Structure formats: C-alpha cells, structure tokens
Amino acid sequence: MSYYVAGNPVLTAGSYVSGGAAELQSSDSAYYVANSSSGNPKQVVFTVQSQSMTQPASISQIEVRFVVMSDHTNVTVDLYVKGSTGYPASPDSGFTFTTAGVSKTAYFYLSVAELSYINSLADRRVDLMVSATGNLNYQLSSDQILFTASP
C-alpha cells in the first residue's frame, strides 16, 4: 500500500521558496523548494509525516522513496526516521550530489526497531527528517516522498 506526505513540510533550517505537500505526491518535476541557510555549514532541514497507514493490518516492511535535486554539487542529504526515542544520531540513508541539476532517488527500508515502533502506534505514521548540508549556497528541490507498506 502506498502512502504520501500528510501535510506541508515543516522547515526548520533554510528558507522556503515554493511548494508543499502536493508537490511531494508524485515524481513529476513539481517541487517543494527551499534555499540553504546562511550559516556554515549551509543547511536545509525539514520534517514530514506520512498519511496514516491503515493497511495492511500488520506491516512487515516499509520502504521510503525520496526524489530530490540540488542546484550545486557536494550537497549531502541525510534521511532520518523517528523512532521511539526520537530521531537517531545516524541517518537511515544518505547521499552526496556529484552532479548539479540532476535528480537523485533514494530508497531505503525501515529497521526492525523502527517497524516495531510504527506498528505499536494507534495511528501508524512515519515521521521523516530530511537534512541537507553543503559549503556553498544551494537550492534543494524535493520532488517526491513515498512510503510503501507491505504485509
């Protein structure tokens, strides 16, 4: 079963340019866009929450798919899934842009501990934090965030 972002991203570092939850629904070149912060390192950080995962009754696997683009190279994007104790110190997935202006797609699966936590919730949702860092000013354009739950 596929689930999307439930509401607009909450931007905690960087500055909002355009877009919202609707732009994160499909990989269609419609973007949620943020400019990096002015500090050092330059950052874009935002969180999203999935729609309520009502099916399947018991989830044994959740895949997260994230499609994003940066207008500069050497921007590192790390993805974190919130567990029972909050967001982890180490990312669940991450990559660095080696080419500017070209979309990258990251896929990863939630850990057993994260799945156990999600399954324990009355309202099963995944909280995802996207954290991008770079040394030069950049613009991060997020195209899709998709959560796929499997029995």
82-140 tens-digit pLDDT? 999 999 999 999 999 999 999 999 999 999 999 999 999 999 999 999 999 999 999 99
Which neighbouring-strand residues pair with 30? none
| Both tokens assigned to 146 | 């998709």
- How crowded is the C-beta side of 142, counted as CA atoms within 13 Å? 35
24-48 tens-digit pLDDT? 999 999 999 999 999 899 999 999 9
CB 5 within 8 A of CB 48: yes
46-89 tens-digit pLDDT? 999 999 999 999 999 999 999 999 999 999 999 999 999 999 99
Predicted confidence at residue 94, as pLDDT, reads: 96
Predicted confidence at residue 83, as pLDDT, reads: 95
Location of structure tokens 């995944």: 126
User: In terms of pTM, does the model score above 0.95?
Assistant: yes
Location of structure tokens 């029972």: 84
Predicted confidence at residue 137, as pLDDT, reads: 97
Predicted confidence at residue 133, as pLDDT, reads: 98
CB 42 within 8 A of CB 135: yes
Q: Which residues contact 49 (CB under 8 A, 6 or more apart)?
A: 5, 6, 7, 125, 126, 127, 128
